Chain A
Amino acid sequence: MEPLGTFEIIARILYQLSSVWIALILLFALSIAFKRRLGLYGKLFDSPIGMIGFGLVMFWVFVGIFGALDLIVTHDPLTQVSGMKNKLPGTPLADADEGQYGWYLLGGDNLARDVFSRMVKGAWIVVQIAPLATLFAFMVGITLGLPAGYFGGRLDTFLSFLANLILAFPVILLFYLLVTPEIVATGLPTMMAIVLFMFPIIFLGVLLNSRYRTQPAFRTPLLVGILGVSLWLYLALISEGGYLVRSVPGLPTVLDPFDIPGGILVVFVSVVFVNSPTVFRIVRGLALDIKTRDYVAAAQTRGEGPWYIMLWEILPNARGPLIVDFCLRIGYTTILLGTLGFFGLGLPPESPDWGSTINEGRKLLSIYLHPALPPALALLSLVLGLNLLADGLREESLRD
C-alpha cells in the first residue's frame, strides 16, 4: 500500500472520530434547543467563548469514552508492530493481517506503537482521573474549609497552618517524595487514601443529616442507604485482595468488585493531596465573607445548627466561584498528571498517558516530531478548553 498524503491522513482521522462528532452534534443540538430551561449550564450557550471551551472539553471527554469502548483506536496502544519504529504519519503496515487497520495514522513511536491510538487511550486516563480527583479535592477542601471559615478561632489557625504547610512544598518535590515504588511498598499512599477518601462520606453524611434532621422517619433510611453504598465503595476502593494495609483486614475479596492498581492509587491520592489545600483556602475565604450576610444571621436566629448553615446556606451561595474554580482546577489536575508522567512517576512506563508519551517522545525530538507533538497538543487543547469554559461560566454567572 502507498503511504497516505496529508489530506488523506486528516480525512481518515476525522472519519475515525465520527462517533465523537455525532455525540458532540447531538449534545449541542439538545443543549441549544433547551437552553432556557437548563439554568447556568444553558446560559453557557449564550457566550461564544464558553461554547468553544465546552466543545473542546466535551470533544476530549467523548474521545476518552469512545476510545475506551474501542470505537476510535486503530491499533492496540501497547502492541509493537515490526518495521513501524519511528515511522512517519500515514505509513502503511508492512504486512497487515486481515481485519487489521492498514496504516499508522500519526506514525509510530520509538517502540513501534501507534501514536494515534496511544493518544486516544491517553485521553481516557485523563478523563477517568482528573475530574474525580478534583471532585475529591473539593470534598476535602469544603469539609475542612467551611468550619474553618465559619467557626474561626483555634480550629481555623490550625487548619490554615496545615494548608500553608502543604502549599509551601514545591509540588514536584512532594511528588518525588510520595510517588515512588518504595513509598508504595510502605503502604503510606493507602493510608493517605483511607484518610482522604473518608471526607466524601463525611461530607455526604453531614449534608443529608443536617437537612433532614427534623424528619427522622425519612432521614434514617436515607442515611443508612446512602452511607451504606458509599462505605462499600470506599472499602472496595482502598482494600486490595481482602486487606487494607498489609495485615489489617479489609473488605473480603468476594465483595470487592474492582481493584485499583497501586500506581494509579498513589497518583490519585497525591493529586488530591496537592489540590485540596488550595480549595480549602478558597472555601475558607468564601465562608468568611458569606457568614456576615443577613440570611446567615436569619438562619442563626431561626435556631438552625451550624452544619445546616454551612452546607445549606453558605455553600449554595458560594457555588459561582466554586464552579469556575472547579473547571480551572480540572485543567490544573490534568497538567499535574502530565507532570507526573513527564517525570516517569507513578504510572507504568508503557502507559499511554500524555505525560509519559511526551517524555518518551522528547528524547528523539530533534529527528522525529510526530511521537511527542500529538499528546502535547492534545493536553494543550484540553486545558485550554477548560480555561475557556471557566471564563465563559464566570462571565455568565456574573451577568445576573
Chain B
Amino acid sequence: MGLFILRRFGVMLLTALCLTFIVFFLTNLFPNLEKLAKTQGNQRMSDEQVQAWLDNRGYSQPLLTKYGQWIGVVPGFTKTLNDGQFVGTCVRPGQTQEETPRFCGILQGDWGYSTRFKENVDEIIWKRLGNTLYLMMWVMILMVPSALLVGVLAGMREGSRTDRSLSTFSILTTATPEYVSGVIFIAVFTSSTVGLKWFKGTATQAMDDPTFENFFLPVLTIALYGMGYIARMTRASMTEVMTAQYIRTARLKGVSFPNIVVKHALRNALIAPFTVIMLQFPWLLNGVVIVESLFNYKGFGWVLVEAAGNNDIQLLLAVSVVSVFVVLITQLISDIGYVYLNPRIRIS
C-alpha cells in the first residue's frame, strides 16, 4: 500500500509538471505576451515598444529558462535599465537590489506576483480559495445526503412509482447545466417580474456575511447538477444489492423492510457512490467557475476567469497547479477509500 501511494504521488508530480508546462507554453505564446504587454503598458504601444517591454521584464528569454525560473532551479531574471532602475522576476515593489533573492520559484515557496491584482499570487489564492471552500462545503452538505437519499429511495423498490418519479428527477437535474438552472432560479426567485423575491440574485455580500437569503441559490445551483449523477449511481448500486442472496434470506427470515434497507443493504450499496462522490470534485470546480460568475461571488473560479482573461501567467499557473492537485488527490482518495470500504478488492 505504501509503495502504491508513493507511485501515485510520483505520477501526480509528473502530471503536474506536464500540465504546468502546457499552461506555461500556451500563456507564453507571442500573441498572449503582446496582449499582456498592451494591457500592462498601454494599448497603443508600437511593435518595438512591446518588444522592449517584454525584454525588460524577462519575457523574451527561451521558454525553458523561464519555466526553470518559475520552478526555481534557474536564477531569476534581473536587469538594470538605462535609467539605473533594477528590475527582475524576483523583484517585488519596494525591494532593493540587495534584498532580492537569487532564486524565486515554487521550490523557494514563491508563487510569483500577479500582474492583474498587483499582489503576491499565494495571498490571492489563499484568500479566494477560502471563499470557494466555504461554498463547496455547503454544496457537499446539501448535495451528498440528498443525492444518497434520492438514490436509496429510488433503488429500494425498483420500478415502483417512487422509483420512476425520483429517476426522472435525477435525469432532469443532470440535464440542467449550472448556467441554465442558475438563470431559471434567478428568474423565478429573485426577479421583480415573477415577484417571489425569496432570495438575492447576487452572492456578493455572502463573502463577508453569508446568510440563507444570499447564499442558498448558488449552493443549490451547483448541488443540483452534481446530485443527479450521484443519485443515479446510488440507485443502480442499490437495485443491485436488493437482488442479492443475503437480502432475500433476510426477507424470508422475516426482517422488516425498513430494517433490511437500513441495516443490510445500505452499507454495501454506498460503496460505489463513494468513488463517484470523490470524482465529482473536479466537476464541481467547473460548476464553481460558472456559478461564481453568475452570482458574482469572488472565489477561486472568479480568479481563474480574471487570470485567464488578462493572461496573468503566474496566477494562472498557480490556479492550474491547485486544480490539478484537487483532481489527482481526489482520485487517490477514491482509490484508497474504495479498497478500505470493499475488502473484496485488493490492489495487485
Which A positions have Cβ atoms within 8 angstroms of B?
161, 164-165, 167-173, 176-178, 180, 182-183, 185-186, 188, 331, 335, 338-339, 342-343, 355, 358-359, 361-362, 365-369, 372-373, 376-377, 379-380, 383-384, 386-388, 391
Contacts and interface: CB of A to CB of B under 8 A. Distances in A.
Contacts of A379: 177, 180
Contacts of B184: 373, 376-377
Contacts of B18: 165
B171 A342 contact: no
B2 interface: no
Contacts of A388: 171
A398 to B, nearest CB: 12
22 contacts: A168-B328, A170-B289, A170-B323, A172-B286, A173-B304, A177-B316, A182-B311, A183-B29, A183-B32, A186-B29, A339-B177, A339-B179, A339-B290, A358-B179, A365-B186, A365-B187, A367-B192, A368-B193, A369-B191, A373-B184, A377-B180, A384-B176
Nearest to A88: B193
Interface in B6-38: 11, 14-15, 18-19, 23, 26-27, 29-32, 34-35
A368 B193 CA distance: 7
Nearest to B197: A366
Given A168-B327, A170-B286, A365 B19 contact: no
Q: Which 3 A-B pairs have the closest CB atoms?
A: A176-B308, A182-B31, A384-B175
Contact of A172 (B304, B311, B324): B304
Given A380-B180, A384-B171, A171 B32 contact: no
B101 to A, nearest CB: 29
A169 B186 contact: no
B31 A185 contact: yes
Given A185-B31, A186-B31, A365 B15 contact: no
A338 B190 CA distance: 23
Nearest to B174: A387
Contacts of A186: 29-31
A186 B319 CA distance: 24
Chain A interface main SS type? helix
Interface in B42-85: none
A362 B186 contact: yes
Nearest to B33: A182
Contacts of A173: 23, 304, 308, 316, 319-320, 323
Contacts of A377: 180, 184
B29 A342 contact: no
A185 B32 CA distance: 10
A387 B293 contact: no
B214 to A, nearest CB: 14
Contacts, number: 135
Contact of B175 (A365, A366, A367, A380): A380
B201 A376 contact: no
A176 B316 CA distance: 10
Given A169-B324, A366-B201, A372 B183 contact: yes
Contacts of A365: 183, 186-187, 191, 201
Given A176-B304, A176-B309, A373-B187, A387 B175 contact: yes
A6 to B, nearest CB: 14
Contact of B26 (A178, A185, A331, A384): A178
Given A168-B15, A168-B327, A182-B31, 17 more contacts: A165-B19, A168-B19, A170-B285, A171-B286, A176-B304, A176-B305, A176-B308, A178-B26, A186-B29, A338-B180, A365-B187, A365-B191, A365-B201, A369-B193, A377-B180, A379-B180, A391-B171
B250 interface: no
Contacts of B88: none
A380 B179 contact: no
A168 B191 contact: no
B244 interface: no
Contacts of A338: 177, 179-180
B307 to A, nearest CB: 9
B172 interface: yes
A7 to B, nearest CB: 20
A377 B180 CA distance: 7
Interface in B268-312: 282, 285-286, 289-290, 293-294, 301, 304-305, 308-309, 311
A383 B183 contact: no
Given A355-B179, A388-B171, A391-B171, A342 B290 contact: yes
Contact of A383 (B19, B27, B177, B301): B177
